[in-house]
């Protein structure tokens, strides 16, 4: 079965500094990996995904993620954090074949960007 781990419950970073939110995964076959962000009282918003191709994936709001197959990681990064980036971040892996699918989500990492 597919699984996702986000080893940090909380990440604190100062505004303007680079940020990293960590994700490791366990899948059988090729991984389909996703990052979503959840703001308070809002639904999940799609940030980016890795299906195949370049290991560095660029997404919305200046975020990017680095896929590392040997380390089974898919860390989310941003060169310069904004206070408005403070939110709950979820890593997810697609589970399923050609017939049906679902996403397996990590437990989430709360990012706090301090002014």
Partner 1 sequence: DSGVTQTPKHLITATGQRVTLRCSPRSGDLSVYWYQQSLDQGLQFLIQYYNGEERAKGNILERFSAQQFPDLHSELNLSSLELGDSALYFCASSLGQKETQYFGPGTRLLVL
Q: Which residues form the interface with partner 1 (CB under 8 A)? A: 32, 34, 36, 42-46, 49, 90, 94, 96, 98-108
Rounded to an integer, what distance in angstroms lies between the CA atom of residue 91 and that of residue 104? 9
Q: For residues 4 and 90, is the Cβ–Cβ distance under 8 A?
A: no
- In terms of CB distance, is 76 or 81 closer to partner 1? 76
Q: For residues 82 and 56, is the Cβ–Cβ distance under 8 A?
A: no
- In terms of CB distance, is 30 or 68 closer to partner 1? 30
Rounded to an integer, what distance in angstroms lies between the CA atom of residue 98 and that of residue 101? 8
Q: How far is the CB of 78 from partner 1 (least distance, A)?
A: 20
- In terms of CB distance, is 23 or 108 closer to partner 1? 108
């Amino acid at each position: 079965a597919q699984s996702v781990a986000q080893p940090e419950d909380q990440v604190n970073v100062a505004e303007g500094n680079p940020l990293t939110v960590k994700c490791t995964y366990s899948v059988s076959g090729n991984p389909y990996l996703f990052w979503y962000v959840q703001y308070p009282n809002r639904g999940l918003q799609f940030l980016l995904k890795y299906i195949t191709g370049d290991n560095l994936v660029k997404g919305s709001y200046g975020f990017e993620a680095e896929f590392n197959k040997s380390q089974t990681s898919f860390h989310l990064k941003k060169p310069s954090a904004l206070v408005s980036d403070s939110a709950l971040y979820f890593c997810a892996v697609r589970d399923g074949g050609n017939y049906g699918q679902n996403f397996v989500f990590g437990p989430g990492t709360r990012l706090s960007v301090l002014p």
